[in-house]
Protein backbone atom coordinates (compact mmCIF):
# COMPACT_ATOMS: atom_id res chain seq x y z
CA UNK A 1 0.00 0.00 0.00
CA UNK A 2 1.98 2.88 -1.25
CA UNK A 3 1.37 6.40 -2.48
CA UNK A 4 4.56 7.65 -4.03
CA UNK A 5 5.06 11.31 -4.89
CA UNK A 6 7.71 13.52 -6.43
CA UNK A 7 7.85 16.95 -4.83
CA UNK A 8 9.80 20.20 -4.70
CA UNK A 9 13.24 19.77 -6.32
CA UNK A 10 12.87 16.09 -7.25
CA UNK A 11 12.38 14.78 -3.73
CA UNK A 12 10.72 11.38 -3.43
CA UNK A 13 7.95 11.05 -0.88
CA UNK A 14 5.47 8.62 0.62
CA UNK A 15 2.05 10.12 1.28
CA UNK A 16 0.39 9.19 4.57
CA UNK A 17 -2.77 11.13 5.29
CA UNK A 18 -1.88 14.80 4.96
CA UNK A 19 1.82 14.15 5.57
CA UNK A 20 4.65 13.34 3.19
CA UNK A 21 7.64 11.30 4.35
CA UNK A 22 10.84 12.24 2.52
CA UNK A 23 12.42 9.00 1.27
CA UNK A 24 14.60 10.52 -1.46
CA UNK A 25 17.56 8.42 -0.31
CA UNK A 26 15.74 5.34 -1.73
CA UNK A 27 16.60 6.59 -5.23
CA UNK A 28 20.18 5.50 -4.50
CA UNK A 29 19.31 1.96 -5.65
CA UNK A 30 18.68 3.14 -9.21
CA UNK A 31 21.71 2.01 -11.25
CA UNK A 32 23.83 4.70 -12.88
CA UNK A 33 23.44 4.65 -16.64
CA UNK A 34 25.32 6.31 -19.48
CA UNK A 35 24.29 7.57 -22.87
CA UNK A 36 22.36 6.27 -24.70
CA UNK A 37 19.92 6.15 -21.81
CA UNK A 38 17.37 3.34 -21.64
CA UNK A 39 13.93 4.24 -22.94
CA UNK A 40 12.08 4.17 -19.64
CA UNK A 41 11.39 6.14 -16.50
CA UNK A 42 14.19 5.17 -14.11
CA UNK A 43 11.98 5.31 -11.00
CA UNK A 44 9.28 3.09 -12.49
CA UNK A 45 11.81 0.70 -14.06
CA UNK A 46 13.34 0.18 -10.60
CA UNK A 47 10.16 0.54 -8.57
CA UNK A 48 10.40 -2.70 -6.58
CA UNK A 49 13.97 -1.96 -5.49
CA UNK A 50 13.06 1.63 -4.57
CA UNK A 51 10.02 0.50 -2.57
CA UNK A 52 12.26 -1.97 -0.72
CA UNK A 53 14.46 0.95 0.39
CA UNK A 54 11.41 3.01 1.29
CA UNK A 55 10.45 0.44 3.93
CA UNK A 56 13.87 0.84 5.52
CA UNK A 57 13.72 4.66 5.47
CA UNK A 58 10.17 5.51 6.45
CA UNK A 59 10.62 5.20 10.23
CA UNK A 60 13.19 8.00 10.39
CA UNK A 61 12.06 10.08 7.43
CA UNK A 62 11.66 13.83 7.63
CA UNK A 63 7.99 14.77 7.28
CA UNK A 64 6.31 17.64 5.46
CA UNK A 65 2.70 18.75 5.41
CA UNK A 66 1.16 18.10 1.97
CA UNK A 67 -0.01 21.72 1.99
CA UNK A 68 3.57 23.07 2.14
CA UNK A 69 5.10 21.18 -0.80
CA UNK A 70 4.83 21.41 -4.59
CA UNK A 71 3.70 18.14 -6.18
CA UNK A 72 5.33 17.24 -9.50
CA UNK A 73 4.35 14.40 -11.83
CA UNK A 74 5.19 11.11 -10.08
CA UNK A 75 6.46 9.87 -13.46
CA UNK A 76 9.21 12.31 -14.41
CA UNK A 77 10.15 10.94 -17.84
CA UNK A 78 7.41 8.88 -19.43
CA UNK A 79 8.78 7.40 -22.68
CA UNK A 80 5.31 7.67 -24.17
CA UNK A 81 2.27 9.68 -23.15
CA UNK A 82 -0.45 7.57 -24.74
CA UNK A 83 -4.02 8.82 -24.82
CA UNK A 84 -7.42 7.42 -25.70
CA UNK A 85 -9.69 9.61 -27.85
CA UNK A 86 -13.46 9.45 -27.35
CA UNK A 87 -13.53 6.45 -25.03
CA UNK A 88 -16.95 7.17 -23.47
CA UNK A 89 -20.18 7.17 -25.52
CA UNK A 90 -21.72 10.14 -23.70
CA UNK A 91 -18.60 12.18 -24.44
CA UNK A 92 -18.96 11.29 -28.12
CA UNK A 93 -22.53 12.57 -28.01
CA UNK A 94 -21.56 15.91 -26.45
CA UNK A 95 -18.62 16.29 -28.84
CA UNK A 96 -20.95 15.89 -31.78
CA UNK A 97 -23.47 18.31 -30.29
CA UNK A 98 -20.78 20.92 -29.77
CA UNK A 99 -17.28 20.80 -31.30
CA UNK A 100 -18.27 18.48 -34.12
CA UNK A 101 -20.74 21.04 -35.37
CA UNK A 102 -18.26 23.89 -35.06
CA UNK A 103 -15.48 22.14 -36.92
CA UNK A 104 -17.59 20.15 -39.35
CA UNK A 105 -16.53 16.85 -37.85
CA UNK A 106 -18.46 13.65 -37.39
CA UNK A 107 -16.90 12.59 -34.11
CA UNK A 108 -16.46 8.82 -33.88
CA UNK A 109 -15.05 6.71 -31.05
CA UNK A 110 -11.82 4.99 -30.08
CA UNK A 111 -12.79 1.96 -32.21
CA UNK A 112 -12.28 4.22 -35.23
CA UNK A 113 -9.42 6.52 -34.11
CA UNK A 114 -7.26 4.12 -32.13
CA UNK A 115 -4.84 6.02 -29.88
CA UNK A 116 -2.79 9.19 -30.09
CA UNK A 117 0.42 10.43 -28.44
CA UNK A 118 0.98 13.60 -26.43
CA UNK A 119 4.34 15.32 -25.99
CA UNK A 120 6.49 14.38 -23.01
CA UNK A 121 7.09 18.08 -22.41
CA UNK A 122 3.38 18.57 -21.68
CA UNK A 123 3.65 16.61 -18.41
CA UNK A 124 3.33 18.51 -15.11
CA UNK A 125 2.26 17.76 -11.56
CA UNK A 126 -0.86 19.06 -9.87
CA UNK A 127 1.18 21.57 -7.87
CA UNK A 128 2.55 23.18 -11.02
CA UNK A 129 -0.82 23.89 -12.58
CA UNK A 130 -2.00 24.53 -16.12
CA UNK A 131 -0.79 27.49 -18.19
CA UNK A 132 -3.03 28.47 -21.10
CA UNK A 133 -0.94 29.50 -24.13
CA UNK A 134 -3.97 30.75 -26.11
CA UNK A 135 -6.44 32.22 -23.61
CA UNK A 136 -8.60 33.55 -26.45
CA UNK A 137 -9.23 30.03 -27.74
CA UNK A 138 -11.52 27.60 -25.96
CA UNK A 139 -9.47 25.26 -23.77
CA UNK A 140 -11.19 22.34 -22.01
CA UNK A 141 -10.63 20.20 -18.94
CA UNK A 142 -10.75 16.41 -19.26
CA UNK A 143 -10.55 14.33 -16.09
CA UNK A 144 -9.13 10.87 -16.77
CA UNK A 145 -7.77 7.82 -15.01
CA UNK A 146 -4.06 7.47 -15.83
CA UNK A 147 -2.43 4.03 -15.96
CA UNK A 148 1.33 3.81 -15.40
CA UNK A 149 3.02 0.87 -17.13
CA UNK A 150 5.47 -1.06 -14.94
CA UNK A 151 6.68 -4.08 -16.86
CA UNK A 152 6.97 -3.41 -20.57
CA UNK A 153 5.98 -5.69 -23.37
CA UNK A 154 4.60 -6.24 -26.85
CA UNK A 155 1.40 -8.05 -27.82
CA UNK A 156 0.24 -8.28 -24.22
CA UNK A 157 -2.88 -10.48 -23.98
CA UNK A 158 -5.85 -8.82 -22.31
CA UNK A 159 -5.97 -11.34 -19.49
CA UNK A 160 -2.36 -10.53 -18.53
CA UNK A 161 -2.63 -6.74 -18.86
CA UNK A 162 -2.77 -6.10 -15.11
CA UNK A 163 0.68 -7.68 -14.66
CA UNK A 164 2.06 -4.74 -16.64
CA UNK A 165 0.59 -1.98 -14.46
CA UNK A 166 2.83 -0.27 -11.89
CA UNK A 167 0.05 1.94 -10.60
CA UNK A 168 -2.47 4.64 -11.22
CA UNK A 169 -2.80 8.38 -11.02
CA UNK A 170 -5.30 11.08 -11.73
CA UNK A 171 -4.90 12.88 -15.03
CA UNK A 172 -6.05 16.05 -16.73
CA UNK A 173 -5.84 15.88 -20.53
CA UNK A 174 -6.09 19.61 -21.21
CA UNK A 175 -7.39 20.29 -24.70
CA UNK A 176 -7.27 23.26 -26.99
CA UNK A 177 -10.41 23.11 -29.13
CA UNK A 178 -10.06 23.46 -32.86
CA UNK A 179 -9.43 21.72 -36.15
CA UNK A 180 -5.75 20.80 -35.63
CA UNK A 181 -4.65 17.26 -34.93
CA UNK A 182 -5.18 16.04 -31.35
CA UNK A 183 -1.46 15.42 -30.87
CA UNK A 184 -0.82 19.14 -31.39
CA UNK A 185 -3.80 20.62 -29.54
CA UNK A 186 -3.23 18.46 -26.45
CA UNK A 187 0.57 18.74 -26.30
CA UNK A 188 1.08 22.32 -25.13
CA UNK A 189 3.33 22.72 -22.09
CA UNK A 190 1.41 21.79 -18.89
CA UNK A 191 -1.44 20.08 -20.80
CA UNK A 192 -0.82 16.63 -19.28
CA UNK A 193 -1.35 16.91 -15.54
CA UNK A 194 -0.43 13.68 -13.72
CA UNK A 195 -0.70 13.10 -10.01
CA UNK A 196 -1.00 14.02 -7.30
CA UNK A 197 0.93 10.79 -6.66
CA UNK A 198 1.31 7.24 -7.95
CA UNK A 199 -0.95 4.74 -6.21
CA UNK A 200 0.65 1.32 -6.59
CA UNK A 201 -1.41 -1.26 -8.47
CA UNK A 202 -2.04 -3.44 -5.40
CA UNK A 203 -4.18 -0.65 -3.91
CA UNK A 204 -6.74 -0.61 -6.73
CA UNK A 205 -8.73 -3.82 -7.06
CA UNK A 206 -10.69 -2.81 -10.16
CA UNK A 207 -9.56 0.15 -12.28
CA UNK A 208 -12.64 -0.37 -14.45
CA UNK A 209 -15.02 0.72 -11.67
CA UNK A 210 -13.75 4.06 -10.35
CA UNK A 211 -15.70 7.29 -9.95
CA UNK A 212 -14.28 10.36 -11.68
CA UNK A 213 -15.28 13.88 -10.63
CA UNK A 214 -14.29 17.39 -11.63
CA UNK A 215 -15.45 20.85 -10.56
CA UNK A 216 -14.37 24.28 -11.76
CA UNK A 217 -14.57 27.03 -9.11
CA UNK A 218 -16.96 24.79 -7.17
CA UNK A 219 -19.28 24.19 -10.13
CA UNK A 220 -19.77 20.46 -10.88
CA UNK A 221 -18.74 19.61 -14.46
CA UNK A 222 -17.81 15.93 -14.75
CA UNK A 223 -19.11 12.96 -12.76
CA UNK A 224 -18.82 9.48 -14.22
CA UNK A 225 -17.32 6.04 -13.70
CA UNK A 226 -14.62 4.12 -15.56
CA UNK A 227 -17.06 1.20 -15.97
CA UNK A 228 -18.37 3.14 -19.00
CA UNK A 229 -15.02 3.05 -20.81
CA UNK A 230 -15.46 1.72 -24.37
CA UNK A 231 -11.90 0.26 -24.26
CA UNK A 232 -11.34 -0.54 -20.60
CA UNK A 233 -7.90 -0.45 -18.95
CA UNK A 234 -7.05 -4.03 -19.89
CA UNK A 235 -8.15 -3.60 -23.50
CA UNK A 236 -6.17 -0.36 -23.83
CA UNK A 237 -2.97 -2.15 -22.79
CA UNK A 238 -3.60 -5.06 -25.13
CA UNK A 239 -4.44 -2.76 -28.03
CA UNK A 240 -1.56 -0.31 -27.50
CA UNK A 241 0.98 -3.13 -27.25
CA UNK A 242 0.04 -4.46 -30.69
CA UNK A 243 1.28 -1.18 -32.18
CA UNK A 244 4.34 -0.38 -30.06
CA UNK A 245 6.36 -1.87 -27.25
CA UNK A 246 5.20 -0.61 -23.90
CA UNK A 247 8.05 0.63 -21.70
CA UNK A 248 8.35 1.06 -17.92
CA UNK A 249 6.96 4.51 -17.18
CA UNK A 250 4.73 4.81 -20.22
CA UNK A 251 1.48 6.47 -19.14
CA UNK A 252 -1.94 5.92 -20.64
CA UNK A 253 -4.60 8.63 -20.36
CA UNK A 254 -7.67 6.41 -20.58
CA UNK A 255 -10.14 8.98 -21.94
CA UNK A 256 -12.56 11.49 -20.51
CA UNK A 257 -16.28 11.07 -19.82
CA UNK A 258 -18.99 13.60 -20.58
CA UNK A 259 -19.08 17.04 -19.03
CA UNK A 260 -15.98 18.64 -20.55
CA UNK A 261 -16.05 22.41 -20.53
CA UNK A 262 -13.92 25.52 -20.81
CA UNK A 263 -11.33 26.76 -18.35
CA UNK A 264 -9.92 30.25 -18.02
CA UNK A 265 -6.85 31.77 -16.34
CA UNK A 266 -7.54 32.07 -12.62
CA UNK A 267 -9.81 29.02 -12.48
CA UNK A 268 -9.47 26.46 -9.75
CA UNK A 269 -10.03 22.86 -10.86
CA UNK A 270 -10.92 20.38 -8.13
CA UNK A 271 -10.88 16.81 -9.35
CA UNK A 272 -10.76 13.29 -8.07
CA UNK A 273 -10.46 9.65 -9.01
CA UNK A 274 -11.89 7.18 -6.51
CA UNK A 275 -9.21 5.28 -4.64
CA UNK A 276 -6.45 7.50 -6.05
CA UNK A 277 -6.81 11.06 -4.80
CA UNK A 278 -8.54 14.39 -4.79
CA UNK A 279 -6.51 17.25 -6.19
CA UNK A 280 -6.69 20.97 -6.79
CA UNK A 281 -5.11 22.36 -9.94
CA UNK A 282 -4.83 26.07 -10.70
CA UNK A 283 -5.11 27.54 -14.19
CA UNK A 284 -2.93 30.48 -15.23
Q: CA-CA distances (angstroms) from residue 266 to 129, 217, 263? A: 11, 9, 9
Of 61-69, 104-112, 149-157, 253-261: span binding Mn ion (CB under 5 A): 253-261
For residue 81, give the nearest of 9, 6, 154, 144 by alpha carbon: 144
State the burial class of residue 273 (Cβ atoms within 10 Å of its Cβ: 0-12, 13-18, 19+): buried
Of 20-28, 139-147, 148-156, 266-274: span binding Mn ion (CB under 5 A): 139-147
Provide, rounded to whole angstroms, the least separation between the CB of residue 146 and Mn ion.
10
53 versus 192: smaller Cβ distance to Mn ion: 192
Q: CA-CA distances (angstroms) from residue 258 to 59, 75, 98, 267? A: 44, 27, 12, 20
C-alpha atoms less than 13 angstroms from C-alpha of 176 in its C-beta half-sphere:
24
61 versus 146: smaller Cβ distance to Mn ion: 146
213 versus 256: smaller Cβ distance to Mn ion: 256
Per the CB < 8 A criterion, the answer to whether 155 and 43 are in contact is: no
Q: Is the dihedral of CA 146, 126, 91, 220 positive or negative?
A: positive
Q: How far apart are CA 171 and CA 193, in angstroms?
A: 5
Is 41 an interacting residue with respect to Mn ion (CB under 5 A)? no
Provide, rounded to whole angstroms, the least separation between the CB of residue 144 and Mn ion.
6
Provide, rounded to whole angstroms, the least separation between the CB of residue 256 and Mn ion.
4
7 versus 168: smaller Cβ distance to Mn ion: 168
3 versus 118: smaller Cβ distance to Mn ion: 118
Number of residues that bind Mn ion (CB under 5 A): 3
Of 40-48, 151-159, 244-252, 256-264: span binding Mn ion (CB under 5 A): 256-264
Provide, rounded to whole angstroms, the least separation between the CB of residue 143 and Mn ion.
9
Among 41, 128, 173, 238, binds Mn ion (CB under 5 A): 173
6 versus 141: smaller Cβ distance to Mn ion: 141
45 versus 95: smaller Cβ distance to Mn ion: 95
Is 73 an interacting residue with respect to Mn ion (CB under 5 A)? no
Is 256 an interacting residue with respect to Mn ion (CB under 5 A)? yes
For residue 260, give the nearest of 176, 168, 204 by alpha carbon: 176
15 versus 84: smaller Cβ distance to Mn ion: 84
Q: How far apart are CA 141 and CA 133, in angstroms?
A: 14
β-strands 143-149, 192-200 pairing = unpaired
Provide, rounded to whole angstroms, the least separation between the CB of residue 175 and Mn ion.
7
Number of H-type helices and E-type strands within the chain: 7, 19
Each residue 141-170 as x (binds Mn ion by CB under 5 A) or -, in order, gives -x----------------------------
Binding site for Mn ion (CB under 5 A): 142, 173, 256
Amino acid sequence: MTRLCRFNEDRLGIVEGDQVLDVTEALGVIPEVRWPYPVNDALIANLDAVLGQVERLRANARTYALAEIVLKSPVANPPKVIAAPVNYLKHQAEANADGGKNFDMDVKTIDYYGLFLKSGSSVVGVGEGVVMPFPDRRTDHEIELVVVIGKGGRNIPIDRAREHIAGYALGLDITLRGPEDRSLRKSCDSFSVIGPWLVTADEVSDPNALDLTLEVNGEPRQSANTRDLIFNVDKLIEYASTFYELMPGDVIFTGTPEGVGPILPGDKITCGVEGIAQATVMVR
